[in-house]
Structure 1
Amino acid sequence: MFPSFLSRNKTPETPEPAPAPAKAAAAPHPLDGLTGGAFSAATSGERAAKVREWLATNPGAEQLQEVFKELSARDKGAAKAIRERIEELRRAKGQEAISAEWADKAGKLLAASKLNIADALAWQRDAAKAGAPLSKEPLTSLKAQLAERVKTIEDLQHRVQVQREAAVLLAQRVEVLSTKSYKDAQAADSALAADVQHWQDQAASLESDASWSSVEARYPTMLETSKSQLLVVWEAFQSALQQTLKAAEDAQAPLPAVPVWADELRAARGLPTEAELAAARAAAKPAGKPAADPQEAKRAKQAVQEALKKLQEQTAEGHGKGASGAAQQLRAVLKQHGKQIDAELESQVNAALIAAGELEGWQRWSADKVREELLAKAQGLLARPEGQELGGRKLQEALRQLREDWKKADQSGPTNHALWKKFDDACNAAYKHVEVWLAKVREEGAQHRAEREALIAELKAWTQAHNASTEWKAMQRDLFQFGDRWRASGHVGEKAYAELQAAWKAAHHEASAPLHTAQKTSIARREAMIAQATELAAAPHLNIDAVRELQRQWQTEAQGVPMDRRHEQKLWDAFRKPLDEAFARKTQQRERVAQQLSARDQAVLDASKALEAANHSGDAQQIQNAIEALQQALKAQREQAPATSEAVSAPAAAHAPVEAVAEEAAPAAEASAAESSAAEEGAEAVEAPVPAPAAPAPKPVIAQRSGDDRPGMKRDAPVAAGRGGKPGDRRDGRDGRDSRGPRGDRNERRGDDRFGRGDRFDRAPREDRGPRLGDAAFRAQRDALDHAQAALRKLASQAHGQALTQMMEAWNKRDASLLPPAQELGRMAGTVRATWGQAIAAPAAGDAREALLRLEMAAEVPTPADHIDARRALQLQLLTRRNDPSPQETWQQDVAKVLQSGSDDASARRLQNALKSLLKK
């Protein structure tokens, strides 16, 4: 735009180098043929398209790495797709590794003969956590296979429960048939036998299932128990039914033990039933029975009822041995008191004895069945499949339980020596494994005993090595480690453990004795500190330095000697409690002093609150009035102070109030300086009551732009530029000699000694501002004044913005009457407003672009982006016009030029932004 001016700011032009001759056509890149021309493409878009086409051919990982290395140096955007493909392959490779790992784990689970449901469910959960692709093959099919296996196992377990319920129902059917006619039982025998056989077939199918080994351990036991109980009841039913049928055919055959069937056979043979026999026996008793003593009859009846109740309980619970014993006791009671009971109770006794006899018969019949079951269990201890073998302890307990059960079976029926021989051989064969386990346990016990004895010896050696040590924390840590090692040692016998435990306690007590002694000494010192803290807290004035020193001593003691955490916490609570109470009392005293406001403080507080309320009102005049009221309150509190300080008791004010004020309030810096000055003046007034002379009026300070006002120099002589001379020379250049003469002469001329006050230090005495404000009042008035100034500035800014808006409206409408008054626009001469009004009233003419740029430069506000180049050009022009006034000096004339031109939104916005800053200056 200005070539002659711009050429000055450029560096000297140098001749441009001659263009190099055109190079020969560049050789094609070696990878260009592989990528289909991606390297020779002219633009980045073409290269990216070529790369995408090449990636569609699924190149190998090595080719991707090679092409990415070359292309990323030329075009990172085009190489981005290759980098994503490399990362995708890397992720896929990681997914394949994870998939292979979890597929191997699933294969092991499926190949195992016993599958734990929890392990199968944990596989799926852990695989998902590890990020394995469960939705892809082969994990999808493996997951389905595991789910199918788990479902099969759960179905088997459910079927076992169903079989148990079915066995209970079949046993109930057998019991119901024993209460009916034997002919009904004979009719239902075939159907019941088929149901029992069907139940056995289903149980056998469950046990032969391939997944039976994966069923939980309690389900096979449940099925085996149900099977044994059902077979015992069924075989007893069959035996009783066959005996009943033989007795029906042969009148000499014995009657069955089932009461209903026996009565039916008696009736068929023409014999009386048990009920008729009982009635006959009752009728056969002599009618003239002698009257018995009522008290004895009552005691007899009570004894028989107790024995009867016990027999009924044993019979209901199915205890054959207990029922037999209870029946014998009942018969013994009847021998003694049978003549003194009534007929009803006698019939109840007979029924209970019959029921007990029936139960005893059932137990006798099933004794051999129980023995056979025990024999099968003993033989099955060593015939368990792989993975289900019992451990040594469990095998020992199982053998002990089997032998106890055999003893009970012998007590309920006659002994079977053949079965006992087989049972004993099976138990002895299984006990050989128990002996191997016991030998191993004894060997491990001896090893563990040796380890514990070595640990005790190590603890004793440690005690000798650390006998004189005072590193209590390290000792306590080592003792804790010894205790952990002792608890983690292996198992030994009870007798050996008792001996070793006694030796260990003695060694540990000896090792911890120095630490316990140090802890007792530390407790004594801490208790002394607690007493000292209580004494300090009880003092009328809390000594902060002593408290800090005592706390430091406590911390040193706590860090030096470790103790039990609970005991140490109790001591610490006892130590800090009196100090906390003392500080709480001090805080309460400080709060009470802060609440006791004087009348003048209250007046200042009220005025401050009124000013805060005025700040929120948004009324500038109200804020000014509130500020004046606050100033009046502050001035009134100064005027209310005594005119002189002789009435104030200086010694009293110097003793009691000083400590209270120093402790209870934080004085401001200005008030403390004023108070110290007032105290000095008060002390002088007490010593010398003669009033001080009035302070001389301060001399006016006259600013001088030129001349030398140093001592010994003429004021009309110009000041030399710089100090001049060599380093070390005096200011007057007299070889180190001062023209002002010796220091003593200067002091005499000044009328002051070295430390005195001369005329130069004389100043008027400070005004007596009276007692200072309290902390609350001082802060309240300070904050209120700050808020008031901020509110006034905000209101002034709002008013200034409204004035500028009116000015823009007047310019837009070319109406000078809408121009705001000069006092609303800011600090400027009244003629400026008149000039602006004339410019607005005149017809629009002229170009205001340069004027707007000058206004923006004067206001130091940014210029729109469209006019940045014009502003820079104008700045360069202004640098060449050294004698022209700057934009800061001509901004009012520039505003008039802008107002004389035509108005538009962009120009109005730029003018308003510039005037916001200029009218505030």
Structure 2
Amino acid sequence: MTSTSTKPHDLQSLDTMTGGAFTAPTSGERAQRIRDWLAGNPAPEQMQEVFKELSGRDKGAARLLREKLDELKRARGQEAIAAEWAQKAEALLAQPKLNIADALAWQRDAAKAGAPLSREPLASFKARVAERVKGIEDLQHRAQVHREAAVLLAQRFEVLSTKGWRDAQAAEEALRADVAHWQQQAADIAADPNWSSLDAKFAPQLESSKAQLLVVSDAFHQALAQTVAAAEDAAAPLPPVPVWADELRVARGGAPEAAPPAAQKPPGPKVDPEKRAAAQGAVEAALAKLEQETAEGHGKASAGAAAALRAVLKEHGKMVDAALEARVHAALVAAGELEGWQRWSADKVREELVAKAEGLLKRPEGQALGGRKMQETLRSLREQWKQADQGGVPNHALWKRFDEACNEAHKVVEAWLDKVRADAAEHRAQRLALIEEVKAWAEAQAGNTDLKAYNRALHQFADRWRDAGHVGEKVFAELQPLWNAAFGAARAPFEAAQKASIERRQAMIAEATELGAAPMLRIDAVKALQQRWQAEAQTVPLDRRQEQKLWDAFRAPIDEAFNRKSAEREKAAAAMSDHDRHVLDASKAVEAANATGDAQKIRAAVARLEAALRGEAPPAPKAAASADGPPVGATDVVAPGQAAAEFSESAEQAPGPADAEASPEPAASDVAAPMPSLVAPADGADASARADAAEADAESEAAPAPAAPPKPAPKPVIAVRGDDRPGNRKAEVLPAGRGNSRFGGDRRDGRGGPPGRANERPPRPGDRGPGAGRFGDRPPRDERGPRLGDAAFRAQREALERADQALRKLAAQAHGEALTQVLGAWEQRDASKLPSVQELGRAVTPAVRGQWSQALTAGPSAEADAAAEALLRLEMAAEVPTPAEQLEARRALQLKLLTRRGDPAPAQTWGQDTGTVLAAPHDAALARRLQNALKALLRK
């Protein structure tokens, strides 16, 4: 049976074993069933199998199993540690002579190693060791007390020897019993099993105390027996005890024996002065050392110095004078006091350490120490205890309290260490899985050309390795080479691509250096090289610093070449030629003419500027009398056939009986044409008088202009292609009805088609006309003159633009005034107020103006139908909208015109149609329609 066929059966059996944990509908129920199953303490193998299947289905429920497995794992580890330290404890307890320091070191080292001292079997061993140490300490105390008891018994014998012999005889039996009891206790102490574990000094001390006590007791009893015998028999010798002997002597009737005179001390032998001086020097040196150590407060050093002084004094004490001997005794007393103070201060420090250790677990809940902090605190406390032991005699009672408090607080450290070990194991597993994932990914990415995504994935792997959690130094030293090998193998293709990209970029840098060093900078080659660099940078990513360094090296020669070119251009611009200077002067003259608002002066200044642009020499300066222009009060008139070409903005800027719409601007080619002043006369003088005045002003303003140099004859045209582009204008005018629609200009908005082709549009500024150059209306190079510098070019362009705007504004004003005068003359039926031919523009001939004058003079005689039809023809010729109520009539007229192909078009008869409308009676609606039509027609 295959694994796929057994898996459902395994899941079913696991589900049955766990009480339905795999088939539970919700995660909470699965977790509860896992808890119930774990309460029965299942086997670790079963828990591992269930965890393996459940970890991929429900991580929340699997966490319970993982925690249980980790707990079992920790328990197995602690069992091994416990067995090791239990074996050490057995060996320690089996020794016949147990050292207290070794016993305390076992407990401390076991706690540091993480052994579970609170659980069996270490708990029982800990109790046994503590009981053994306590027994040894108690035995030491009993031995010391027993020595003191022997001294007290000896003192009792001495005291009784100073009293009467009868009192001593009464206390003799009690003393015998006490000495026998003391001997029995001394034998019990020596027979104790822990007697061999005591320090070697206790056994001789106890033996010497016993021998001294027995000697004193035997002497007492013998002297008392002799005293009793002397009391019974007067001839018996007196006892050696003076008090008892005097008492017996008095009882016999004699006097007490006087004290013998003190025997004179025989004079000592004479000592060599050199030996005496050497002895005093040795004693003074030892004394100075002791005094220095005592003054500095060194307890142990002062004890050693005192012992050395005693040894020197024992050897040379007989040859020391009384003054030096007194100093020696004072120094020894001070050293003893210092040793006692050191012992007292050490105990004070130990008591503070014990209080700190016992307070570690009594902190408030919010201030409890963590595992690492608790470990560092315990280590610091134990180090301080060692330092306190170095300054004084050890205190085992305080050490016992301190060690118990530290062991109790170390349980927090043990729990933290268990968690750290579990986390380290999990982090190690994660890092190993990441290494395998990197290896598999590297094999799957073979042949991948998306280096940006490749690099991004490598960075993600590196971040995951860095954030994979803490492990120990030993584990990290084991895993780091594996990671370096796997990550290096995965990064090798990318590093090879980076190396090849760097070589290509170095080649492009060399190429950029060659281009920058060339005398003529090739812009197309530079652009192509930059595009190649950008493509390379987008394909292969590099380190940001390295990429910026390569880019700076690539950009430097090109920037240097452009800076050199800019410097040369600025240098050439700084050296202004005579031609540029003439153009600048002419541009300033145009600006000054624009400020005057005189169209004639503006056109004259523009003509001089164009002559300067063609390279012609500037005209001679005018006399002072004529430099200021025409005399004050002179009236400018409009030349015939020129005003209509300058109309740009209609009656929005000029007063009129009705509102007018803005019209398109004229072509830019019309600006350069010489134009007379557009200021119309304010009065209604005769047209001929105004024409004579205009001619007189023109003659007075005319100035001799230098003859232009002869232009070369244009080359004959060999072939001209048919130009059907928008903007081309043909000389002939097609009849109406050939517009965009099927029936000519019959459209929904009432507009008729243009007089030209079907797709023709009005001319715009910049359109190329017949004979224009490559760039629109720009003339050929031989007609433009020498090349201008940047400053001169900008100045002449801005001057011409401002002149064009000023002329357009003046033309719009003249157009509005002329149109207003025509409508005013119609309303008042006064032919004298009709504008002159010059004011009306080139679109109106003298014959047409005469016809309009006759229509106004004859009075309202035209029929209403004829005037309406004439107005419709005007709107068709001007291509302006017709009111909605007249659309049917306009369509009917268009159909009528289609049947009369031989009749002239409305665009050809608009002058006569205007006369027909002017012959009709004045009407405000008709006047508004006539104004809209003439506004466009007078501009053509």
Larger helix proportion of the pair: 1
**Do they fold alike, i.e. is TM over 0.5?**
no
How does the TM-score come out when normalised to structure 1?
0.38
Larger-Rg structure = 2
Question: Which structure is richer in relative contact order (CA contacts within 8 A, separation 6 or more)?
Answer: 2
How does the TM-score come out when normalised to structure 2?
0.37
